């Protein structure tokens, strides 16, 4: 039987990627990898030599370490941006999805500097703006292992006084899910979301991605108010995992 090609997880060091073989033969399990090495800043540091070639599929068992490693999102996997409240496209300055990556910057209040990505509102089949707008899926800079006492963090930017803007936040073990809902981020709190992950049921053993789906209600932004015409729903400034001992939030 011909061996099946294996996709190498993104966190495997580049010098080891050429040594991957079939998922079904001569492979070392992820549990063994974690026994032999430790993750430091997203890389594998080996404690003992690995003599077998590496071959790991998408599904694997995890052995959590004792240390929670805080990290911000470092890659946009996919996104779908919606519209302004008046149905027009969101302005370019608020459409740079890369603004959602990395640690949050701190421009002066009301400086006009756009350092976030606006999710926007979406239309239904009848062409009406409804609740359930744009989406964003990002990859964490360092995987999070369930049981490490970390917190999911989302930071939003609202310039001026606005009605409630919110978004559902999910975590997953890949860019395509499956997804576990961990909370509702709101522009009325700082940060918009900070929820202990260990209190959430159904988490994947290893969390590598976070998905944000806008849940702002356009009815809260009546078109009769000229100040709301360019409202563009939840604004994502930063996404990540926070640890009680080493931040980042």
pLDDT single digits (tens) 160-192: 678 999 999 999 999 998 999 999 999 998 899
What pLDDT, on a 0 to 100 scale, did the predictor assign at position 116?
92
CB 150 within 8 A of CB 197: yes
pLDDT single digits (tens) 88-133: 999 999 999 999 999 887 654 444 567 899 999 999 999 999 999 9
What pLDDT, on a 0 to 100 scale, did the predictor assign at position 27?
39
Which residue, among 35, 10, 7, has the nearest Cα to 21 in the 3D structure?
7
Q: How long a stretch of residues is the chain?
A: 249
Is residue 246 very low, low, confident or very high in pLDDT (cuts 50, 70, 90)? low
- More confident: 97 or 9: 97
Which residue, among 102, 98, 99, 131, has the nearest Cα to 114 in the 3D structure?
99
Q: Specify which residues 47 forms β-bridges with.
A: none
Rounded to whole angstroms, the Cα distance separating 249 from 244 reads: 9
Rounded to whole angstroms, the Cα distance separating 181 from 108 reads: 33
What pLDDT, on a 0 to 100 scale, did the predictor assign at position 52?
31
User: Helix (H, G, I), strand (E, B), or coil: what is residue 141?
Assistant: strand
* Segments of the chain assigned to CATH 2.60.120.260: 71-242
pLDDT single digits (tens) 191-219: 999 999 988 999 999 999 999 999 999 99
What pLDDT, on a 0 to 100 scale, did the predictor assign at position 198?
87
Is the preceding omega at residue 191 within 30 degrees of 0, hence cis? yes
Name the helix (H) or strand (E) containing 182.
Answer: strand 179-186
Phi first, then psi, for residue 226 (nearest 5°) are -60, -25
pLDDT single digits (tens) 10-50: 554 444 444 333 333 333 344 333 333 333 333 333 333 33
Evaluate if residue 51 carries a pLDDT over 50: no
Superfamily the domain 71-242 falls into: Galactose-binding domain-like (2.60.120.260)
What pLDDT, on a 0 to 100 scale, did the predictor assign at position 65?
55
CB 179 within 8 A of CB 170: yes
Name the helix (H) or strand (E) containing 140.
Answer: strand 135-145
CB 221 within 8 A of CB 84: no
pTM reported for the whole predicted model: 0.73
What pLDDT, on a 0 to 100 scale, did the predictor assign at position 133?
96
What is the 8-class DSSP label of residue 230? T
Rounded to whole angstroms, the Cα distance separating 33 from 48 reads: 10
pLDDT single digits (tens) 137-165: 999 999 999 888 899 999 998 766 789 99
């Amino acid at each position: 039987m011909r061996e099946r090609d294996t996709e190498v997880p993104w966190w495997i060091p580049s010098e080891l990627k050429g040594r991957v073989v079939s998922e079904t033969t001569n492979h070392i399990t992820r549990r063994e990898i974690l026994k032999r090495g430790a993750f430091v800043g997203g890389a594998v540091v080996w404690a003992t030599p690995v003599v077998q070639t590496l071959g790991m599929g998408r599904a694997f068992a995890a052995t959590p370490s004792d240390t929670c490693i805080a990290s911000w999102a470092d890659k946009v996997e996919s996104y779908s941006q919606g519209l302004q409240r008046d149905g027009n496209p969101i302005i370019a300055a608020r459409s740079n999805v890369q603004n959602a990556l990395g640690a949050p910057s701190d421009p002066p209040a009301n400086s006009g500097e756009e350092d976030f990505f606006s999710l926007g509102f979406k239309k239904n089949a009848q062409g009406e703006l409804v609740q359930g707008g744009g989406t964003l899926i990002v990859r964490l800079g360092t995987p999070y292992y369930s049981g490490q006492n970390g917190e999911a963090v989302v930071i939003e930017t609202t310039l001026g006084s606005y009605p409630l803007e919110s978004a559902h936040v999910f975590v997953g073990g890949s860019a395509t899910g499956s997804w576990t809902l961990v909370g509702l981020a709101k522009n009325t709190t700082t940060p918009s979301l900070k929820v202990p992950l260990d209190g959430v049921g159904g988490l994947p053993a290893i969390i590598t991605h976070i998905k944000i789906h806008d849940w702002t209600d356009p009815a809260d932004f009546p078109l009769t108010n000229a100040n709301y015409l360019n409202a563009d729903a939840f604004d994502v400034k930063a996404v990540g995992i926070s640890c009680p001992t080493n931040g980042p939030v």
